[in-house]
Amino acid sequence: MAKFDFSRLKKTLKESAEDAKIAAEKAKKSVKENMPDSIKKVAQSETAIAISDKLNKAVEKGKSTLSETNERLKKTREDTKNALKEAKENKLKNLVSSETSLKIIYYLIISDGQINDDEKEQFNAIGQSMIDHFENVQSDITSKGDEILSHASEKAYSDLVYEAVILDLEHDHIESPEQSIKARQLLWNLIVVSYSDGLHSDTEQRIIEAIMRKWDISDSVLQEMLEAMETLLAIQGEKKRFSKSQRPYAEVQIQVKELENREAIIMQSIHQLIADE
């Protein structure tokens, strides 16, 4: 039996397929060429409409995507702005401006209706430690207090001092943390000034309570500061007593050094108490 030539059959089938493809293309071209103009226009119009619809949908989708993106960007900007504002407020919420702090301290000094040279010197020292070129703003800080002091003989003097404190606290404005101190630092400064003359008036107590209310400072913090202040005063008294002692110098120095170490420990605890705010 003769061997069947499969390769020839394969070639024949391939040629037939190609011929069929060519014939189909010719038929398609012929139909298109012989198609009436009216049908051509309809087909072209339908194609144009389909393309236009696709373009419109693409444009609308693009607009929607752009709008959504803009909304997300807007929300992100707002969230960032709010976060920065909140962070700034949190950073400043326990602070009081240096100028307002000094005004409050001055009100406390004059709360007993007078101010002596030692108190003026003490206030100036505090002011210079808190504000550069304090002498340039000193009169602005003390002017209101001096005006109130001129009414010291009046029955309502205590209320005038207290109202000035409340008003300045309400209108306090902090430009930056560098121009402010912590509320607990102000409280400690007030306690130091209050104890310096050995007199404690009701007005001083009202001022201290106003500070505690505004910044929600607990009674335990106040008590710790008061105990520290009393201990420091006791240590200072001991140091004076030793300085006047007839004991040998070396022995006195040992005792004084020990007292100074105790002072340092107490002040360190106060600084930590203020920093923990």
Pair 159, 229 in one domain: no
Per-residue tens of pLDDT for the chain, all 277 residues: 444 455 554 555 556 556 656 655 665 565 556 656 655 555 556 666 777 777 777 777 776 777 777 777 666 566 545 444 443 454 578 999 999 999 999 999 999 999 999 999 999 999 999 999 999 999 999 999 999 999 999 999 999 999 999 999 999 999 888 899 999 999 999 999 999 877 678 999 999 999 999 999 999 999 999 999 999 999 999 998 988 888 888 888 899 999 999 999 999 999 999 998 7
Residue 48 lies in a domain: no
Residue 229 lies in a domain: yes
CA distance 129 to 93: 22
Exposed / middle / buried, residue 106 (Cβ in 10 Å: 0-12, 13-18, 19+): buried
Amino acid identity for residue 88 in this structure: K
**Beta carbons within 10 angstroms of residue 94's beta carbon:** 16
Residue 57 lies in a domain: no
Pair 208, 243 in one domain: no
Pair 266, 174 in one domain: no
Residue 88 lies in a domain: no
Pair 209, 116 in one domain: yes
Give the ranges where the chain is alpha helix by DSSP (H): 6-34, 37-92, 98-109, 117-130, 138-149, 157-170, 183-196, 202-214, 219-243, 249-275
CA distance 105 to 161: 11
Residue 133 lies in a domain: yes
**Beta carbons within 10 angstroms of residue 115's beta carbon:** 20
Query: Is 107 within 8 Å of 145 (Cβ atoms)?
Result: yes
Residue 138, domain extent: 94-216
Pair 158, 270 in one domain: no
Query: Is 168 within 8 Å of 103 (Cβ atoms)?
Result: yes
Pair 263, 157 in one domain: no
Give pairs for 224-231: CB < 8 Å, separation 24+: 224/269, 224/273, 225/187, 225/188, 225/191, 225/270, 225/273, 226/191, 228/266, 228/269, 228/270, 229/191, 229/192, 229/195, 230/195, 231/262, 231/266
Pair 204, 134 in one domain: yes
Domain count, the chain: 2
Pair 102, 212 in one domain: yes
Opening angle at CA 144, ends 197 and 132, nearest 5: 75
Query: Is 164 within 8 Å of 142 (Cβ atoms)?
Result: no
Pair 141, 241 in one domain: no
What is the pTM for the complete model shown?
A: 0.68
